[in-house]
Amino acid sequence: MRAKQVTVGFGWPIAAIAAAMMVSGWSAPSAAQEDTGKKRTADVVYVATPHDVVSKMLEIAKVGKDDVVYDLGCGDGRFIVTAAKKTGCKGRGYDLDPARVAESKENAKKAKVESRVEIFQQDIFEVDLTPASVITLYLLPRLNQRLIPQLEKMKPGTRIVCHDFEIPGIKAERILKLTSREDGVDHRILFYTIPLTREEP
Ligand SMILES: C[S@@+](CC[C@H](N)C(=O)[O-])C[C@H]1O[C@@H](n2cnc3c(N)ncnc32)[C@H](O)[C@@H]1O
Residue 121: strand pairing partners:
95
Is the CB of 96 inside a 6 Å radius of any atom of ligand 1? Answer: yes
126, HSE (Cβ side, Cα atoms, 13 Å): 7
Q: From residue 143, how far is each of 42, 57, 106 by CA, in Å?
A: 11, 19, 27
Average pLDDT over residues 32-51: 78
What is the per-residue pLDDT across 66-80, written as a single tens digit (0 to 9) for each? Answer: 999 999 999 999 999
Beta strand pairing call for 174-179 and 134-137: unpaired
More confident of the two residues 18 and 73: 73
Q: Which of 30, 56, 124, 187 to mutate to test the pocket of ligand 1 (most atoms within 8 A of CB)?
A: 124
Contact 96, 42 (CB under 8 A): yes
- Asked if pLDDT for residue 5 goes beyond 80, the answer is no
Is the CB of 124 inside a 6 Å radius of any atom of ligand 1? Answer: yes
For the chain, domains (ranges, CATH) are 14-28+41-193 (3.40.50.150)
CA 103 to ligand 1 center in whole angstroms: 13
pLDDT band at 26 (very low <50, low <70, confident <90, very high): very low
CA 2 to ligand 1 center in whole angstroms: 30
What is the per-residue pLDDT across 89-141, written as a single tens digit (0 to 9) for each? Answer: 999 999 999 999 999 999 999 999 999 999 999 999 999 999 999 999 999 99
CA 112 to ligand 1 center in whole angstroms: 23
Contacts 24+ apart (CB under 8 A), 143-149: 143/43, 143/44, 143/73, 144/168, 145/169, 147/72, 148/196
| The predicted structure's pLDDT at residue 22 | 61
CA 100 to ligand 1 center in whole angstroms: 9
| The predicted structure's pLDDT at residue 201 | 82
Is the CB of 100 inside a 6 Å radius of any atom of ligand 1? Answer: yes
CA 156 to ligand 1 center in whole angstroms: 25
C-alpha dihedral, 190 to 133 to 113 to 137, nearest 10°: -30
CA 139 to ligand 1 center in whole angstroms: 7
Is the CB of 123 inside a 6 Å radius of any atom of ligand 1? Answer: yes
Q: How many residues does the chain have?
A: 201
| The predicted structure's pLDDT at residue 2 | 40
Q: Which amino acid is at 97?
A: D
3-state secondary structure of 184: coil
pLDDT band at 17 (very low <50, low <70, confident <90, very high): low
Q: Which amino acid is at 106?
A: E
What is the per-residue pLDDT across 148-200, written as a single tens digit (0 to 9) for each? Answer: 999 999 999 999 999 999 999 999 999 999 999 999 999 999 999 999 999 98
Is the CB of 103 inside a 6 Å radius of any atom of ligand 1? Answer: no
Residue located nearest, by CA, to atom 9 of ligand 1: 48
Spatial CA neighbour of 98 closest among 124, 114, 82, 75: 75
- Asked if pLDDT for residue 33 goes beyond 70, the answer is no
